Structure 1
């Protein structure tokens, strides 16, 4: 689909930002020093983490305390034999010990291996084995699964138990830190190109792969982070927080074990010396409003699935405590114009959509500056668009041969090794752990002058805005038409009866495939034939005739990754299995 170019906007500074931006990566850049050490010295009493437990208690962790505890843990890990390059699994949710563990591992020169507490024994065993983790740090949320997986993990020689898991590991957290003693820790020398994190992909399209992330990738994230957070509380002209403004406070329900929680929330917030709120317990769409008001949250990252849940649970926010929000970034799925409008009308914020992935994060998005006209930064958001390339990133839509597609022609979203100035882009991962073939397949062209494919399909308009169509393997053909599921799903969610939806192809002998929608109902609605007809007419009246779902199945919950992405692949394989069974029964 070709989208018309729009006239130049007075608040469109995109071209100027790219022209004036140059990467600055110190050769000895290290995450621990950048996110903790320097603040522990310059602003020791500033709050790094504000931790709220399920019973409502709030405990602050200041930067000086974060550094002191990280130094103790680094000494403890060194006594246990952890060396530079060793993998240390961190299997904990949002809590102070998680951040302490990350800083401690980085300043040892070791590699943090974050793993979500939602993994069962089999998922943990695969990653611990594959990553050859030397030591694991785990709390009560995952200790059962970890101990069940441990028998299959020969390299895992030590388990440190945290919190209510005390007594179930080889060593307790408090015991380990108590034995380590006080005093500053002499960090191991690290280089910007050294590995810092081994983080596994969410596995939406196959077995998870371990992406090895260097220290410098955090710098590569920062231009996108700042833009998506509307300059993260500073005045673009001065680089300072406006006088009298409330302190910057960040919150996201994103799990710190994933790129979205670690690289889009925890680490960049600490890099700028601000406060991040950590919350114990599951995300609740109703309680989220009170939480943001209670902590005076100014900046947030909320998945589209979370925003959809909030929109359906609280369609009208009138009467709720006022919010202090200055920016919301959203990523993981297409936001869609329904959620976009809700954020503007009910939350008072123009949501900044962002696109990236584990291997190359924070590539494309918006910087709407929340209505601050003439702010000297940012560019206007277009509802339904992924946005434009963030400063420092050279983005294109390319075809199978690696050629740049014309405006409006769908292709694979790709990032070039070098920015518009010809400088190396620091955001790139080092490669897939123990999988050189997959690393090579990720790139097109000469290694020093290549495109890195994301595996996501989109079109780019004449102004550089990208329009998401879906994962390359989620896009399908029905009756000869190319179908991107995102537009249909967004249309369905606009209906009051729909809480969420996923669109996949259903095999069809005559047409190859037909459009099928799996729908999660909003509270108070019944999935019957009348609603099926209403939803079909709802889509038919808004999109192309070939896009309306020929079949709708109501489902209690969509299959999701732990990062909040819909696993359409699971539903697609289910449809294929059903088709084979029906053919066998008919034959």
Structure 2
């Protein structure tokens, strides 16, 4: 991409940044109430519905606030009080946004739950949280009903659409008779707002209790990773109602997860812009069509999604007319192959971001698509970026000491920024789990459990989850680099690298490979064993010629799909445990 070199303004942005966290703050008021009070509230679009029937394509900020007020009044009649947990078990749709605004302005705690959860996952969270009301639609009502008997705290179910026939209350009927006015709770910035359960990639899910102030903590990372979100970077956004952006946001990330809620829905509404809602199953072609249809300018796409898009539509220009100004990606390492695809085919430099439910949006990039501006820093392919303004991030060892450049350690966030101010991004703790909360910290450092290396210029390079990194013949191996290398092979759609137990070396490098549609079809036409052996050898040679000799996969297994969390992360733990079980059976 043509353009002047990006000026590295990272140090000056940190030096000039100061947190401004009011003692009284409520997410619902910041994201909806203040916009609904403006003269253009009836015209300003909050949510656009993809493939909606005529007359239901959009929801204004005025309508969003009015519906939220009616729902708050309904929930109050159901006995919901400040601090009570209300489960929101719905996909991307108008009612989901209404539910968040209604629950949060009451001072209650919104507990998002994915419609993809099975009975055990759903019951565990409803039981553990003590949720008193569940809001569900046709995608989730059966699952909630199936576990309701085991959730004694759950007093009522409110059903949207067809779910109303099976729930205790009909959403539409319940709201129609309620007042359109509601006096919001005057919450403190430190009051709890959201209870999100971790995805459970390394054990039983834990409920992370997020305060209202955490949204403020998200904003620097959101603005930077979204290339200033359509605002003029030369004009400071000091106004309570920033004006001037024409951004349109969309992400396939479920609004039940941190990526969809805190990285997409809430910050978009905070800035008074529209977000596209779509509950359709993700497909590469569908994603391109949606972005073209709605003129999407800013997006968050998981590396898994970008990999699928890269394989399905290798040449975007000429096929789709996009208006993209920024792409943020997180959840896994992006890798050089995807980085190059975004730059050359999507016309943007992908801004990789790193964070987690407990301390979100703390590290990343702000490449501004190669333009020289006073608010950016260069992105490096494969790097997770540098700390966003307001966050003091370091790579630390087991004793909490900062690691030297080039040394692998745990990515951690300090409770105070470089100016000694409290960082508002921090969660309040794990729900009813004080020991787990304490274990998360070493003094004032909050550990992420993700390993990285910091280079001399402060860029972080992801090495994997602490339990994903393994040793083979004395060499420390992280899966990310090997996976990225394999992904560059034209036959590979997705891949996960895990250790296979081995008596001599301790572990062997093993790759689980998902083939592209063309490669899978060719494999089906031949004799599977012979084709697999030939293709495995090709992939091994592909890695041998590009990485260290000890990094190539000694074994390759072809599978139809990788085990994934509902947030789009590969569950390497599942594959690792499978290999350990196979080793035990072989030994027996």
**Any idea what the Cα deviations from partners look like across 1:236-262, whole Å, max 9, x if unmatched?**
112489xx9982100000000000000
The residue aligned with 1:543 is: 547
The residue aligned with 1:507 is: 501
Gap regions ≥5 residues in structure 2: 524-530
- CA shift, 1:322, in A, is 1.3
Matched, 1:12 2:8: yes
Check the 8 A contact 1:52/1:58 in 2, yes or no. Answer: no
Matched, 1:564 2:568: yes
Matches within 5 A, 1:161-560: 161-182=159-180, 184-239=181-236, 247-373=246-372, 375-445=373-443, 450-525=444-519, 526=523, 528-560=532-564
The residue aligned with 2:526 is: none
- CA shift, 1:93, in A, is 0.2
Check the 8 A contact 1:478/1:514 in 2, yes or no. Answer: yes
Question: Runs ≥4 in structure 1, deviation > 4 angstroms?
Answer: 54-58
CA separation of 1:78/1:55 partners in 2, compared to 1, >3 Å: closer, same or farther? closer
- CA shift, 1:179, in A, is 2.3
- CA shift, 1:441, in A, is 0.2
- CA shift, 1:372, in A, is 2.0
For 2:456 and 2:586, the matched residues in 1 are separated by 46
For 1:568 and 1:426, the matched residues in 2 are separated by 32
For 2:280 and 2:163, the matched residues in 1 are separated by 16
TM-score, normalization: structure 2? 0.95
Check the 8 A contact 2:6/2:371 in 1, yes or no. Answer: no
**Any idea what the Cα deviations from partners look like across 1:71-115, whole Å, max 9, x if unmatched?**
000000001100000000000000010000000001110000000
CA separation of 1:58/1:347 partners in 2, compared to 1, >3 Å: closer, same or farther? farther
- CA shift, 1:280, in A, is 2.5
Task: Name the stretch that deviates more: 131-140 or 287-296.
Answer: 287-296
For 1:455 and 1:496, the matched residues in 2 are separated by 33
Matches within 5 A, 1:76-225: 76-182=74-180, 184-225=181-222
- CA shift, 1:330, in A, is 0.1
For 2:481 and 2:139, the matched residues in 1 are separated by 37
Gap regions ≥5 residues in structure 1: 1-8
For 1:225 and 1:53, the matched residues in 2 are separated by 27
The residue aligned with 2:47 is: 49
Q: Name the SS for the 1:325 alignment partner.
A: coil
Q: Name the SS for the 1:90 alignment partner.
A: strand
For 2:122 and 2:257, the matched residues in 1 are separated by 14
- CA shift, 1:120, in A, is 1.3
**Any idea what the Cα deviations from partners look like across 1:445-490, whole Å, max 9, x if unmatched?**
1xxxx10000000000011100001000100000100000001000
- CA shift, 1:321, in A, is 2.7
For 2:235 and 2:213, the matched residues in 1 are separated by 26
Check the 8 A contact 1:395/1:413 in 2, yes or no. Answer: yes
The residue aligned with 1:67 is: 65
Matched, 1:28 2:32: no
For 1:188 and 1:509, the matched residues in 2 are separated by 62
Cα RMSD of the aligned pairs, angstroms, is 1.5
Check the 8 A contact 2:6/2:367 in 1, yes or no. Answer: no
For 1:143 and 1:56, the matched residues in 2 are separated by 26
For 2:320 and 2:361, the matched residues in 1 are separated by 32
Q: Name the SS for the 1:469 alignment partner.
A: strand
